[in-house]
Amino acid sequence: MAAGYSGREVNALEPRVDKNIQELIRLLDTKIVDQIVEERYSSNNKIHSGDILSSFAAYSMTGKEAKSEIMVQIMAGSNTIATAIRATLLHIITNPVVLRKLRSEIATAGLTADIISNTQARTLPYLQAVIKEGLRIHPPVSSLSVKEVPKTGDTFKGMYFPPGTKLGISMWALTRNRDLFGEDADEFRPERWIEAKNAADEEEKKGDSEARAKLKEMEFSVDLIFGHGKWGCLGKNIALMELNKVFLELLRRYDFVVLNPMKPWDSKHSGVFSQKDFWLKAYKREDVSV
């Protein structure tokens, strides 16, 4: 059930907010970003270092623009993508069926590079299903994302909303909608995405598009985690690229054990999720050469 924040809850969060601000001020005061950009842009190696700053320089971004963009890269999405990785990894390694299927796909993917390319990762259907299901079962952001109805008012599904009305949506409720995702919506089951696509492909052969429309609605619902339109996440493509790589590369190299299966983590929520004490033990797999 969705709810707003009471005054008491906001007051309780204030010390943590203050601590984050103090850390940000410390970072800015040390002028780390200024130093990095100035050193890079004053050298002959500003483009060929192989990092994101090199990409900025390659596209003729000025030093001033790069400084601003670096702060976005450092702060925006760091906590949310970490939550997506933690939550999805936990669901994978505690589900033997999913882990076996994913490793089987990895083993037959014909991987030759040390790190899989984003392009190749997108061709692996079960990996893509796992990523979508991870975002669906545990959205990193589950605040209401309130928007205000414009001065003209608006109508949605026959209901009129007057100007100034504040509307919000609970991502946690949306991505567990049984009418859309099935009666097992509370279960981590990547196969639902494979099944939905297969059903859409089969129906289209018969000239029916109902299953395709449902698949698009499923994908759009999960995609809303990143926002939409002018409120869309600027780092969405980078986040998806990270997800395309991290699970495959970790699981092809290591076996993971949750050290405390009775309480695998300490997870708190204040609009976004934050976890700590997520302790795993990694064992190098002997049957792989990477």
Q: Please tell me whether 132 is known to bind a ligand.
A: no
- Domains, the chain, in order of start with CATH, read 7-75 (no CATH), 78-284 (1.10.630.10)
DSSP secondary structure, 10-77, as one string: HHHHHHHHHHHHHHHHHHHHTTHHHHHHHHHHTSTTSSTT-SHHHHHHHTT--HHHHHHHHHHHHHTT
Two tokens, residue 46: 């500003």
* pLDDT single digits (tens) 155-188: 988 999 999 999 888 899 999 999 999 999 999 9
Q: Coil, helix or strand for 83?
A: helix
* pLDDT single digits (tens) 3-21: 333 445 445 555 655 565 5
Mean pLDDT of the chain: 85
Two tokens, residue 257: 């054990």
Question: What does the pLDDT read at residue 3?
Answer: 38
